[in-house]
Amino acid sequence: MKYKIIAAVLAAVFAVGMLAACQREKEPYPSYYDNTTSQPTASDMTGDATEPETTLPSTEFEPETSRPTEETAPSKSESESNTEPKTNSAVEPKNYSFKTLMLVNPTHSVPDGYVESITLEKVQGSYVMDSRCAEPMRDMIAAAKRDGITLQLCSTFRTYETQKKLYENRIKILMNRDSSLTYEQAAEKAYIKKQADEVSVIVMNPQNGELMAMVNYPEFNLNEPFTLIEEMGADGTESADKKQELLNRMWRNPCISDTYEPGSTFKIITAAAALEEGVVKLDDAFFCPGYKIVEDRRIRCARTTGHGAETFETGIMNSCNPVFMELGERLGAENFAGYFKQFGLLSKTNIDLPGEAGTIMHKTENIGPVELATISFGQSFQITPIQLVTTVSSIINGGTRVTPHFGVSVQDADGNTVKTFSYETHENICTAETSETMRYLLEKVVSEGTGKNAKIEGFSIGGKTATSQTLPRSDHKYISSFLGFAPADNPQVLVLVVINNPQGIYYGGTIAAPVAKEIFENILPYLDK
């Protein structure tokens, strides 16, 4: 046993020293609040935080610090490009030696001209190590064998070229596996490319709630449900209780059991409520200096330099936070909360799958000016992805609240339908006029605004991008998402892509919208335009 421990320690130290990629430099991001105070506790909010575990890490909300909500950056390199910018390593040594470490991560690439200068030796089978480590390792393996213990290496040194080839081959496999990219492949590709914690995709018919796909990646093998996947970090030494905890986490369906702060995709709901209440028109004038003062807070727009003069129409195209904070103020807390109920946000969707979590929202009496402002652009509360797509469906389909579902009918062995399922609907969630206006505005977001990376020539697509920050804020982790539908004037398919904790660039319009575009490219040819 002592040899196993020594080998494990030595291997861990060696991996850290040679790869130098275990640390991720946290990028500073300007705070959306110049002054911070504590946020409401879960007890001050509606919804059951104890129902299947949500992404809310504690009973208390973290201070509202550094909250990017949208990628309305003025530069093309940030908001229009799908390629990762080249960045220089924080350390640029002239001689890459054993004693010199480089930071290598998604924001610090291996510098051009890098040449590995170490001598490698085989240690066991095809496993290689730095020659200075190889001999001691062979001696330890031999000593253990003399004591009747067999040590088997499972991971050693991997060259830069080898790692590069493995990555490129995996991406090539995903791209060339078939002429069309399946939903699962799209999620897997995004997961690998962005080194994300997880990726979720929901594809639904917004007219009737029929779910075409629901994908969470990484996935587990349904034929071996008790086998932990590598991403769970299990090493086979877990206690029975720990293994069960990991299994429960692996089996979770984040699309229905996990809540998150939706960010700017929620602006669809804010805009619809404002239109329904009659407090805004398309040509209403606004001015964005880059922030809005709310009580003791200076709440910033994603474009800190401001959008300047804009209309409501251009405000939603720009995903401008001050515009939506103004809409929240015009609505008022009581009216806004009334629309949450009217739209069905405070009730479960009743999807035909177990484990659905409820919305975690401020109680109406606890919605002050600051809470009202942050709710308006999709922060300081939490909903499930399935709740978001269901609510948005009701807004864009003419005003009918549908029930999301997989079950359609039951057939016998001969293929005869013996039972057809029906699901509850609620009419007049919003007026047909509001629905039509929202479809028009969201089409503008894709054709001319922040969602242009989801645009497909020859098809009309509506949608909304979002970039929200997870709790605790101090971790600087983000959720990038895009919600889109097509055709824009008569939606037949709705797609939600959620990328949890992507590395490097994390703007929803830059990394989530292209994933949705790939999915649409495979669906839309089969739909009537």
Q: Annotate 295-319 with b (16+ C-beta within 10 A) or e (fewer).
A: eebebbbbbeebbeebbbbbbbbbb
Structure tokens at 62: 């973290």
Please give the full DSSP string across 458-473, using - where no structure is assigned: TS--EEEEEEEEPSSG
How far, in Å, are 64, 124, 145, 495 from residue 4 at the CA level?
46, 15, 12, 48
Place of tokens 């515009």: 323
Residue among 457, 475, 440, 447 at smallest CA distance from 521: 457
Classify residue 503 by its DSSP letter. Answer: S
Helix intervals (H) in 41-102? 76-79
Structure tokens at 318: 């720009």
What burial class does residue 137 get, using C-beta atoms within 10 Å of its C-beta: 0-12 exposed, 13-18 middle, 19+ buried?
buried
Phi, psi dihedral angles at 421 (to 5 degrees) = -85, 145
Show the 3-state SS of 394-461. HHHCCCCECCCECCCEEECCCCCEEEECCCCCECCCCCHHHHHHHHHHHHHHHHHCCCHHHCCCCCCC
SS3 529: coil
Phi, psi dihedral angles at 151 (to 5 degrees) = -100, 125
Classify residue 85 by its DSSP letter. Answer: P
Compute how many other C-beta atoms are within 10 angstroms of the C-beta atom of residue 286.
19
> Which listed residue (31, 79, 264, 435) is catalytic?
264
d(C-alpha 65, C-alpha 73), whole Å = 19
Residue among 379, 475, 302, 331 at smallest CA distance from 40: 379
Structure tokens at 50: 């104890």
56-61 contacts, C-beta under 8 A, 24 or more apart: 56/259, 56/360, 56/382, 56/471, 57/471, 57/472, 58/471, 61/380, 61/471
Residue 264 is among the residues annotated as catalytic for this protein: yes
For the annotated catalytic residues, the residue numbers are 264
